[in-house]
């Protein structure tokens, strides 16, 4: 593990989540070893019957974590689909826009890709209890993997800010839920302190093994495309773990010769939770913190932990960071839901961002674009039923008598 700030190195078996200088740690790989791995090996594993080959994470295991297959804690995860719908081309303003649906993971979000690796590491270092701060998806994923690995699960949630779907799921898998009086950023600070002082293993994306697992969103997407890289990858951004992972995945894939060109990242925040956008807009002059408020609860984060790594990812890919309003992201969600795909509000930022950047001319209409959908449509049922201000409501369910006349009336003849 190497510090991204000062370069200090630590053994991968050491139990720590940050450098002594406070910097983020990253797993470093020998580029020559990566270059020895061939995409044909990964492709052949797709038809294997073994769980670690079927896993869209462990299929790439030599570039994720060096561990014997017997030690792997896998559901399996990944293996998510890549969608195309004509109606969404029209919405985005580009032909052939694809959607990598990470909501199809076992617990309904991409967090499973990081969690399978970080849980495997937790077992490897002998942890007995694992913890995270979460807006609901990380906690659901942690709870499921901890249950499988027989580890105690303790999650720190901002009180009253977690959707009913995510809270129910986290409870169902048996985690102890601590509802912190404060926002996500307060819960994040508290769990970091708890990990240091109480010896609980931390599974937030500050843990570099989460990032190693999440790289495979990009690798599996490239594999879906026959290793022919797109021009743009659009991703919603909250705590910036994914943005960081995508940058690392693209750098490693390019250096290993798996792809010939490096796609540009479009990193999309909600305008009420936009600290990374603010920093980007002023050429990284200041690292901003905001009091976050947005309907997209998964990215309601004001002080993103992986800022430094994410900035490197944007610079490496010549990426763009932007913001979209709650109405814009909910309109994009309507389009995705209405195309029969479905996603949670935060996920739709990817499409809303592409539509905006096509309108400004930054993304050309002929560009090859992949949007990542981060979470499942059922993660936030309330927002679908209740809607938000400024968004036309969906038709309400109609109650009728059990007669054919009532049906005729309800369907308008
Ligand atoms: C966690 C999450 C995000 C944000 O990802 P980061 O890595 O924190 O930037 C976006 N959408 C959904 C559905 C999530 O669960
Ligand atoms: Zn350091």
Does residue 345 line the site of ligand 1, with CB under 6 A?
Answer: no
Q: Domain for residue 288, yes or no?
A: yes
Ligand 1 atom closest to Cα of 102?
13
pLDDT category, 141, cuts 50, 70, 90? very high
Q: Domain for residue 9, yes or no?
A: no
Percent of the chain scoring above 90 in pLDDT? 98
Q: Domain for residue 175, yes or no?
A: no
Q: Domain for residue 404, yes or no?
A: no
Q: Domain for residue 344, yes or no?
A: yes
Between vectors from CA 72 to CA 248 and to CA 307, what angle results, nearest 5°?
25
pLDDT category, 170, cuts 50, 70, 90? very high
Domain of residue 90 covers 84-108+230-256+263-386
Does residue 267 line the site of ligand 1, with CB under 6 A?
Answer: no
Does residue 298 line the site of ligand 1, with CB under 6 A?
Answer: yes
Statement: residue 13 has pLDDT above 90: no
Q: Domain for residue 174, yes or no?
A: no
Per residue in 382-397, pLDDT (tens digit) is 999 999 999 999 999 9
Structure tokens at 286: 């200041």
Per residue in 395-410, pLDDT (tens digit) is 999 999 999 999 999 9
**pTM for this model (two decimals):** 0.98
Does residue 108 line the site of ligand 1, with CB under 6 A?
Answer: no
Residue keyed to tokens 């029969």: 340
pLDDT at 413: 81
Per residue in 345-354, pLDDT (tens digit) is 999 999 999 9
Q: Domain for residue 79, yes or no?
A: no
CA pair distance 90, 241, nearest whole angstrom: 30
Distance 297 CA to ligand 1 centre (A): 9
pLDDT at 92: 98
Mean pLDDT of the chain: 97
pLDDT at 320: 98
Report the number of distinct structural domains present in the chain.
1
Q: How confident is the model over 81-88, as a mean pLDDT?
A: 98
CA pair distance 212, 342, nearest whole angstrom: 27
pLDDT category, 377, cuts 50, 70, 90? very high
Residue keyed to tokens 């026959």: 226
3 state DSSP class of 269: strand
Which of 133-137, 169-173, 196-200 shows the lowest per-residue confidence on average (mean pLDDT)?
196-200
Per residue in 21-77, pLDDT (tens digit) is 999 999 999 999 999 999 999 999 999 999 999 999 999 999 999 999 999 999 999
For 242-264, letters b (16+ CB in 10 Å) and e give bbbbbbbbbbbbbebebbeebbb
Residues with CB under 5 A from ligand 2 (ion): 3, 5-6, 8, 19, 21, 23
CATH number of the domain that residue 285 is part of: 3.40.50.1100
Per residue in 326-350, pLDDT (tens digit) is 999 999 999 999 999 999 999 999 9
Q: Domain for residue 42, yes or no?
A: no
pLDDT at 303: 97
């Amino acid at each position: 593990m190497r510090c991204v700030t000062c370069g200090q190195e630590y053994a991968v078996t050491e139990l720590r989540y940050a450098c002594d200088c406070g910097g983020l740690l990253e797993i470093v790989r020998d580029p020559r070893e990566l270059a020895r791995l061939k995409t044909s090996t990964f492709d052949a594993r797709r038809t294997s019957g073994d769980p670690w080959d079927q896993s869209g994470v462990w299929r790439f295991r030599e570039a994720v974590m060096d561990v014997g297959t017997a030690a792997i804690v896998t559901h399996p995860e990944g293996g998510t689909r890549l969608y195309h719908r004509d109606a969404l081309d029209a919405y985005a303003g580009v032909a052939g826009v694809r959607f990598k649906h990470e909501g199809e993971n076992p617990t309904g979000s991409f967090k499973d890709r990081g969690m399978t690796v970080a849980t495997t590491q937790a077992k490897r270092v002998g942890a007995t209890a694992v913890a995270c701060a979460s807006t609901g998806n990380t906690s659901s994923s942690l709870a499921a993997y901890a249950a499988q690995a027989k580890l105690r699960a303790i999650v720190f949630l901002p009180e009253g800010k977690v959707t009913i779907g995510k809270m129910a799921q986290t409870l169902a898998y048996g985690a102890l839920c601590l509802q912190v009086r404060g926002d996500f950023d307060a819960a994040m600070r508290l769990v970091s302190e708890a990990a240091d002082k109480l010896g609980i293993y931390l599974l937030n994306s500050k843990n570099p093994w989460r990032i190693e697992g999440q790289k495979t969103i990009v690798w599996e997407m490239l594999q879906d495309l026959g290793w022919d890289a797109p021009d743009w990858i659009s991703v919603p951004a909250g705590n910036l773990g994914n943005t960081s992972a995508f940058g690392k995945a693209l750098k490693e894939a390019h250096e290993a010769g798996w792809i010939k060109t490096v796609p540009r990242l479009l990193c999309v925040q909600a305008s009420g939770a936009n600290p990374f956008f603010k920093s980007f807009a002023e050429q990284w002059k200041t690292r901003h913190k905001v009091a976050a408020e947005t309907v997209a609860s998964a990215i309601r984060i004001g002080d993103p932990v992986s800022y430094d790594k994410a900035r490197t990812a944007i610079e490496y890919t010549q990426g763009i960071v932007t913001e979209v309003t709650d109405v814009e992201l909910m309109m994009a969600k309507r389009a995705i839901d209405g195309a029969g795909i479905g996603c949670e509000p935060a996920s739709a930022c990817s499409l809303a961002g592409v539509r905006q950047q096509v309108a400004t001319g930054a993304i050309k209409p002929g560009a090859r674009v992949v949007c990542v959908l981060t979470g499942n449509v059922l993660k936030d049922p309330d927002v679908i039923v209740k809607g938000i201000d400024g968004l036309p409501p969906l038709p309400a369910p109609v109650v009728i008598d059990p007669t054919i006349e009532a049906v005729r009336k309800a369907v308008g003849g």
